Structure 1
Amino acid sequence: TMKDGQPEHLDLTLTKAKFDELTADLVESTMAPTRQAMKDAGVKKGDVDKVLLVGGSTRIPAVQVAVEAEVGKSPFKGINPDEAVAMGAALQAGIIAGDEGVSDILLLDVTPLTLGIETLGGVTTTMIERNTTIPSRRSEVFSTAANNQPAVEIHVLQGEREFSKDNVTLGQFHLVGIPPAARGIPQVEVTFDIDANGIVNVSAKDLGTGKEQSIEIESQTSLSEDEIQAKITEAEEFAEEDQRKKAQVELRNMADQVVYQTRRTLEESADKIDEAETEEVKAHLDELERLVQDEDGNPLELDVIDEAAIQAKVAEVEQSMHGISAKLYEAAAAEMAAQEAESSDGSASTASGDDDVVDADFEVVDDDADEDE
């Protein structure tokens, strides 16, 4: 601040108690990353061997007290916190510049937030977890969610929440040209590959046709450190609610799969079981379908589905299928026995044909003897 062309100075005496009061919220804000770091490392209070203080603000007594209370160990004060920052920056600069003096030092970077893709029900399926050391690569095989689905959308996400709508979109692309097939049959391999520069390559390959599409994401995130920490804190805040909703989605998806797979089994086995025996199962399937879909065949919203009713109806479907499954196994066993009997009859016929063998005289000719003569 200037006054009459001269800087104004503030000379104020504060008591330690007043200073601690003014900085209390700042000190507490540094504890959230500390807790998160310990959680990510899988260590508890008292497990840390040594605590190093880096940065001039760590000289504040309140910071040292807070760290000791959080970690369970008194911070080590044998290094200069300002020099530690300068040395770290110098080492990083040397590594980037290719200085031979620091060629034996390896600095490992990690992913700041979890990377994944959107799957059925708007769920974020994790591909690479937060704090994974890079470079890193992971592949997983997925399939289609509908019959004769000609394409799949790969929606690349970043964040710690369970649903795609709550995470950050990094990119989207489509893999097209999938041959018509029943849902669950096509095999689409999705691969996440992060190189040492933090560039993310995401590819999707149809294992049946070999067709492939990919996307390159130059930066894992455009978020600042504060925004990253806010995302992590937000995920912790809504963790319980997200898990509950995710369980509902998984239950709805499971029920839908039970309906589809059971109907398919009944259709494929129509020649082995009487239609009257399937009426009870079909009735349960219709009721179960109404519990997870609307009249247009779209999934019901999570806030209107009855979890207990769905679980009970799934159990009824499984129970009513027990008798049918037993008959299908009996029919399969009978068919196998018949095939083995036919095979045995064929072998017996071949053996009986040996009775027509005709005896004949033969003479051994010695070639060497003929040559001597």
Structure 2
Amino acid sequence: PSVEIHVLQGEREMASGNKSLGKFQLTGIPPAPRGIPQIEVTFDIDANGIIAVTAQDKGTGKEQKIEIKSGSGLSDEEIKSMVSDAEAHADEDRRQRELAEARNIGENAAYQAEKAIADAGDKVDQATKDEVESAVKDVRSVLDTGGLDEVKAKTEALTAAMTKASEQIYAAAQSEAQASSDGSAGDSSADEEEVVDAEVVDDAEAK
């Protein structure tokens, strides 16, 4: 597995509206569940305007870097033009960013819900499982083409379905913990020594 690091320059909120300075791959990252890998990206600019960009996988320590020469950047005129362009498209960029964020949240919610239901087994009843699975499909059906409000609405419906499932999972865990506690208490009682009253007879008196 690998991660692409794309370095851009500009004032627009979305990557497509900025100038690409370079890109590189951070390779050799071991397979891991979504959200687990942590990639740290650092930028270092020297006196000559050369930018050194380093990407490191925090889990393995593997890293890759790229150097961007000062000539790769923007002229003063280009910078002014980009600032003006960003101001003119501020509302459009904000809407695009919000939609992108909503899609990411929806995609992650669908993945987490699917995994939670699979891991829960019989701790969640079939009706609730069906409700969650249907909500997952609804979210994924709007990720590519749905608008902001639609994506948010489908994600909220999935969250509501998962709340019901989570309550059942929690209740099952509580029942298991209680049963385990009761079993331990029963074993402890059985291990206690039985106390028996007995009369002590002095051998000398018996004679």
TM-score range, shorter chain: 0.7 to 0.9
What corresponds to 2:126 in structure 1? 275
Q: Distance in 1 between matches of 2:189 and 2:57?
A: 49
1:199–1:219 contact (8 Å) kept in structure 2: yes
Name the amino acid aligned to 1:219.
Answer: S
Q: Distance in 2 between matches of 1:348 and 1:192?
A: 65
Q: Which has the higher helix share?
A: 2
**146, 154, 171: which one aligns with 1:330:** 171
Question: 1:81-92, aligned counterparts within 5 Å?
Answer: none
Deviation at 1:187, TM superposition (A): 1.7
Q: Measured at CA, do residues 216 and 349 of structure 1 come closer, stay the same or move farther in structure 2, by a change above 3 Å?
A: farther
Deviation at 1:215, TM superposition (A): 1.2
Match of 1:271, SS state, is: helix
Q: Measured at CA, do residues 217 and 331 of structure 1 come closer, stay the same or move farther in structure 2, by a change above 3 Å?
A: same
What corresponds to 2:87 in structure 1? 236
1:305 is the counterpart of 2:156: no
Deviation at 1:209, TM superposition (A): 1.7
Match of 2:140, SS state, is: helix
Q: Measured at CA, do residues 348 and 213 of structure 1 come closer, stay the same or move farther in structure 2, by a change above 3 Å?
A: farther
Name the amino acid aligned to 1:279.
Answer: D
1:190 is the counterpart of 2:41: yes
Q: Measured at CA, do residues 220 and 281 of structure 1 come closer, stay the same or move farther in structure 2, by a change above 3 Å?
A: farther
Name the amino acid aligned to 2:169.
Answer: L
Deviation at 1:161, TM superposition (A): 0.5
1:175–1:212 contact (8 Å) kept in structure 2: yes
What corresponds to 2:11 in structure 1? 160
Q: Distance in 2 between matches of 1:185 and 1:217?
A: 29
Deviation at 1:343, TM superposition (A): 4.8
Q: Which has the higher contact order (CA 8 A, sep 6+)?
A: 2
Deviations 1:149-184 (A, max 9, x none): x00000011111012121111111101111112221
> Number of matched residues?
195
Q: Distance in 2 between matches of 1:178 and 1:344?
A: 48
Q: Measured at CA, do residues 253 and 220 of structure 1 come closer, stay the same or move farther in structure 2, by a change above 3 Å?
A: farther
Q: Distance in 2 between matches of 1:220 and 1:193?
A: 16
2:2–2:26 contact (8 Å) kept in structure 1: yes
1:192–1:200 contact (8 Å) kept in structure 2: yes
**149, 152, 162: which one aligns with 1:321:** 162
Question: 1:1-373, aligned counterparts within 5 Å?
Answer: 150-219=1-70, 222-292=73-143, 300=144, 304-344=145-185, 352=192
Q: Measured at CA, do residues 191 and 216 of structure 1 come closer, stay the same or move farther in structure 2, by a change above 3 Å?
A: same
Name the amino acid aligned to 1:203.
Answer: T
Deviations 1:304-338 (A, max 9, x none): 42332222222222222222211111112222333
1:200–1:220 contact (8 Å) kept in structure 2: no
Report % sequence identity. Answer: 43
Name the amino acid aligned to 2:162.
Answer: M
Deviation at 1:291, TM superposition (A): 1.3
Match of 2:123, SS state, is: coil
Match of 2:8, SS state, is: strand
Deviation at 1:203, TM superposition (A): 1.0
Where do 5+ consecutive residues of structure 1 fail to align? 1-149, 293-299, 356-373
Q: Distance in 2 between matches of 1:158 and 1:329?
A: 48
Q: Measured at CA, do residues 347 and 199 of structure 1 come closer, stay the same or move farther in structure 2, by a change above 3 Å?
A: farther
Q: Distance in 2 between matches of 1:341 and 1:192?
A: 58
TM-score normalised to structure 2 length: 0.83
Name the amino acid aligned to 1:267.
Answer: A
TM-score normalised to structure 1 length: 0.48
Match of 1:161, SS state, is: coil
